[in-house]
Structure 1
Amino acid sequence: MNRKKGMKQFWLLFALVGLLMLLAACSDDDTKKDVASENDSGGTKTDSTTTEPAKEDGLSGKLEIQYFVGGYGDEWWKRVIGDFKKEHPNLEIIEHAGPNINTEMNTRWISNSPPDVVYIDGAGSNETQMIAEGQLMDISDFVKDLKMDDGTPLLESFISPAEEIDGGKIYSLPLVFDTWGIWYDAKWFKDNNWTAPTDFDTWLSSMEQIKADTNIAPFITTGQHPQYFERGILNPAFAAAGGEEFLNDLRNGVVEAWQRPEVLEVMKKVQKMVDAKVVDPGFAAYNHTQSQMNFLLHKNAYIPVGFWLPNEMKNDTPSDLEFGFTPTPMNNPGEPLALVPDIRTIAVAEKAKNPEAAKAFLEFIFTEQYAQAFAESTGAIMNLKNVDLSANTNVPEFLTGINDMINNPSAVQLYKRNTPNAEEQKIAVEITNEIKLQLVEVLLGKKTAEQFVDTMTKKAQELRK
């Protein structure tokens, strides 16, 4: 009796164990099916032989961008780079920026390991040299297909056109429209019934009146950086007197250009300013910051500077000062004011590691949206036509007026300085250095207009031998 009972318990236990093993096998099989189903739906992959990973859309890899930070600051760059990153989250963007960035990145360029995008501005940058050394990519085919939001070709949308060299090749795009002109305090002028000049005669009269009313020397520039006078006064004066080709021939040391009567005509105007004692006698010792501070403090009334002045000096500008700007009034009465654009360009490196992303970035920034943002954050103008700043309350009033002026060809004539070839560049550097030396002498009253012309003509002859 007990033996039968033991056998029944044994077979009951055996059946129970078998049932548990069957349930475990079923459970394991269901788990495998669940994992396979998860892999099929794009979840975590556990078996490399089952499915291919999904491909990610958009740009990827690294994009290195080099940009100089000067008077315009870096707010605009941070914004556009941040927005570009949002559109391409799989792209790692590396910024190389700062006031000395061109020097800091020089070894990268020399070693043929440059960043992908470069904004060409600031000390140590030279587009002509970069092109001559094969450092910039020919982007002609790429940019000819780019269009603005309204369908207008990008190349037809620039205030100052993209430069084509070497038979129509384009190596950079003109991003920033800067120019040199004369700044004054519009409120101070209004309070004293002084009138902004429209030509050289009215400008000289204005300075003589201001001197009589205030006992200050109305005109200030920096003697430590004579290129401010060269670019802010001489270049527009030469353009107004003889035209664009004349302006470029002078810079390139063409002897016949320096012998033309227009050179002496312009320099006679400069000498009139010196003889009238409207030039600050201490200018030779001032750097650009000190001269700008003197202007802001009403120690002077006129100063030749680029568009960066208000932004660069915003922390030192008196609250009641209202910036006024006019193209340099060295033109004769009845003739149009002259502006010589000082364009800042952006380019793709020939050795770019991510050229696709670099080109996409260039296409991304040339829009009305970022032109408005540039005006807001820098107080300057992006090089795009017909950008209406009048409704943008974040744009300074003076800039709205400048923008309207530049886009009105009947009010101002633009004269372009062309990029010289490699050989001309060497001459242009020597000519510029000589001009700077001689200008200080003229403004100090140590040399006459005739002596300036004679010295520059001989220098051109020497360089053109």
Structure 2
Amino acid sequence: MKKLFKGRALFLLLAVLLLALMAACSSDDEETSATEESGESDEASEGETSGDGEISGELEIQYFVGGYGDSWWKEVIADFQEEYPDVSITEHAGPNINDEMRTRWVSGDPPDVVYIDGAGSSETQMVEDGQLMNLTEWAEGIELENGDALLDSFIVEPGKFDGEIYSLPLVFDAWGTWYDKALFEEKGYEVPTDFESFMSSMEEIKNAEGIDPFVTSGEHPYYFLRGMLYPAFGAAGGDELLADLITGAEGAWSSDVVLETMKKVEQMQQEGMFDSGLGALNHTQSQMNFLLGDNAFIPVGFWLPNEMESDVPEGYEYGFIPSPMQDAGEPYAIVPDLRPLAIAEEAENPDAAKAFVEFAFSREYAMSFSEHTGAIMNVSGVDLTENENVPSYLIDANAMINDPEQVQIYEKPHPMSADLETPIGNALMSLMLGNMTAEEFVEEAEAAAADYRQ
């Protein structure tokens, strides 16, 4: 084409092109200056928002896959992808994902969104390590699909650290005590309503069935701590005691009310109610032994039926009660165990991360969550009673939990830090195995709390 232009014509063409180039450069300079003055940045190519304000770029999501499975996550992520087609989503998921992703968190290269659940995860530890974004102001503007403010629509409010919110509670789990409802009705065994009837029921079953009535995971002592002791502490001392124990307040673990509660655990051990081999059991092994009839009671969250779906014997029927550690005449006690969604402090795409978190919280997905998992999402105003896809045990448990005459709900300020929970759990196992007295336990626990406060 150059051969067609000669002499003057070629000169005029070059002049026109030069003027056009100069005009374009001037326009770009003005646009850049305007952008800088308005405080905006052109980072759409690296993933936040595109030029028209749409969410775009890469979004990394980490979620633990355990008893709740991953089908709900797949549904929500697929719907989010359809809503935001310019976002490229990378999922980091699985039963060992917390361990697999630890290096990235420690090295300052975390995923954008994290669902905090499963072994190896600790919300409190992540907050203490500065790994989670402060969501306090942003969360105030989130609304559900009908315009209700999300913060006013939680069953249980988000945990707070020095008054600040670093995560939003996605799952309302309620640790409780499970039993075979069909067996109890067939044999006429007593469903416990307090600690006294709990002990008498276990004694009857121990003699009649020839089994150790109670099982839990010895490899994960926090199952007993969260599933049995938190409700006991709540019933005995309320939210204030729970907060003091979880934060390691001076004198809390060695208090008389805690000693009285640990005496109950000591009684269970001395009367042979614990499975003799629980020290070596992980959570799935303990759940399998329970389903096989080797034990009558187990403290687990709502994930139990979903996680063990393929292992349920014919004729088995799940029964659930809040853990009966309270004294006679008192209502059951429940301490919700919330499983939250959070955004990494060093998220590379915080806009997409916020869009996803906001997208996931809806009453539509709350209903879907119960269908997929047999558990409850932490959003109020969701009627499960007419949904045929929701299991009957969950409908019964939901009704019981929301009846203040039957159940008193106690709230902890936030999860216990792993730095405190681990030594407490070790001492607890020594007590449950008969290697430590209740008095020795509270002394050991108080020392662990003192170390944690330093």
Note if contact 1:158-1:383 (Cα within 8 Å) is conserved in structure 2.
yes
Q: Deviations over 1:186-226 (max 9, x none)?
A: 11111111231111111111111112221212111222222
Partners of 1:79 and 1:90 in 2: how far apart? 18
* More displaced stretch, 208-217 vs 248-257: 248-257
C-alpha distance in 2 between matches for 1:108 and 1:454: 38
CA distance in structure 2 between the aligned counterparts of 1:258 and 1:327, rounded to whole angstroms: 23
Match of 2:143 among 121, 143, 147: 147
1:204 counterpart (199, 203, 214): 199
Distance 2:77 2:93 in 1: 12
Which of 439, 448, 453 lines up with 2:428 in the alignment?
439
- Give the aligned partner of residue 249 of structure 1: 244
Shift of 1:330: 0.4
- Measured at CA, do residues 275 and 395 of structure 1 come closer, stay the same or move farther in structure 2, by a change above 3 Å? same
Cα RMSD after superposing both structures: 2.3
The answer to whether the 8 Å contact 2:56/2:86 transfers is yes
- Tell me the distance in 2 between the aligned counterparts of 1:63 and 1:276: 54
* In structure 1, distance between residues paired with 2:420 and 2:350: 37
2:353 maps to 358
Q: Deviations over 1:242-280 (max 9, x none)?
A: 112212322333332223211121122112222322222
Give the structure 2 partner of residue 135 of structure 1: 131
Is 1:274 the counterpart of 2:269 in the alignment?
Answer: yes
**Which runs of 5 or more residues in structure 2 are unaligned?**
1-50
Q: Which of 69, 73, 83 matches 1:73?
A: 69
Is 2:383 the counterpart of 1:394? no
Q: 1:456 aligns with which of 442, 445, 453?
A: 445
Quote how far apart the aligned CAs of 1:281 are: 1.7
Verify the 8 A CA contact 2:66 2:95 in the aligned structure 1.
yes
CA distance in 2: counterparts of 1:129 and 1:285, whole angstroms:
27
Q: Which residue of 2 aligns with 1:178?
A: 173
The number of aligned residues is 405
In structure 1, give the amino acid aligned to 2:172. F
- Percent identity of the aligned residues? 54
User: d(CA) in 2 for partners of 1:213 and 1:416?
Assistant: 38
**Does structure 1 residue 414 correspond to structure 2 residue 423?**
no
Q: Which has the larger radius of gyration?
A: 1
- Corresponding position of 1:82: 78
* Structure 1 contact 386–407 (Cα < 8 Å) conserved: no
State the TM-score, normalizing by the size of structure 2.
0.83
Contact 2:253 2:446 in 1 (8 A): yes
Alignment-derived partner of residue 47 in structure 2: none
Asked if 1:234 is matched to 2:232, the reply is: no
Deviation of residue 332 (structure 1)?
0.8
> Is the counterpart of residue 318 in structure 1 residue 313 in structure 2?
yes
- Aligned partners of 1:278 and 1:185: how far apart in 2? 17
Query: Structure 2 vs 1, CA of residues 434 and 133 (structure 1 numbering), >3 Å: closer, same or farther?
Result: closer
Structure 1 residue 398: Cα displacement = 0.6
1:371 to 363, 366, 389: 366
2:280 maps to what in 1? 285
Matches of 2:149 and 2:187, distance apart in 1: 47
For the residue of structure 2 that corresponds to 1:243, the secondary structure is: helix
- Residue aligning to 2:30: none
* SS of residue paired to 1:92: strand
Aligned mates of 1:430, 1:386 — CA distance in 2: 36
Q: Secondary structure at the match of 1:170?
A: coil
> 2:119 aligns to what?
123
Mean Cα deviation higher: 245-254 or 392-401 = 245-254
Q: CA deviation at 1:134?
A: 3.3
| Change in 2 beyond 3 A, CA 1:131/1:442 | closer
Query: Which amino acid is the alignment partner of residue 317 of structure 1?
Result: V
Equivalent residue number for residue 159 of structure 1: 155
Q: Tell me if structure 2 keeps the 8 A contact 1:115–1:352.
A: yes
SS at match of 2:369: helix
The answer on whether the counterparts of 2:216 and 2:278 sit within 8 Å (CA) in structure 1 is yes
Q: TM-score, normalised by structure 1?
A: 0.81
Q: Deviations over 1:35-91 (max 9, x none)?
A: xxxxxxxxxxxxxxxxxxxx8784322222111112211110000001111122232
**Hey, what's the Cα distance between the residues in 2 that align with 1:387 and 1:393?**
14
Shift of 1:430: 4.8
Give the corresponding residue for 2:87: 91
Distance 1:63 1:433, change over 3 A: closer
CA contact (8 A) 2:243 2:413 kept: yes
- Is 1:61 the counterpart of 2:57? The answer is yes
CA 1:345–1:56 in structure 2 vs 1: closer, same or farther (change >3 Å)? same
DSSP 3-state at the match of 2:170: strand
TM superposition shift of 1:100: 2.2
Closer, same or farther: CA 99–436 of 1 in aligned 2, 3 Å = same
Cα displacement (A) at 1:377:
1.1
Q: Secondary structure at the match of 1:352?
A: coil
Q: Which amino acid aligns with 2:72?
A: W
The partner residue of 1:263 within 258, 264, 287 is: 258
Q: How many Å apart are 1:463 and its aligned residue? A: 5.5
CA positional deviation for 1:371:
0.7
- Paired residues of 1:226 and 1:436 also in contact (CA < 8 A): yes
Q: 1:362 to 1:329 in 2, by over 3 A?
A: same
- The CA deviation at 1:139 is 2.4
Separation (CA, whole Å) in 1 of partners of 2:442 and 2:169: 33
Quote the Cα distance in structure 2 between the aligned partners of 1:91 and 1:361.
10
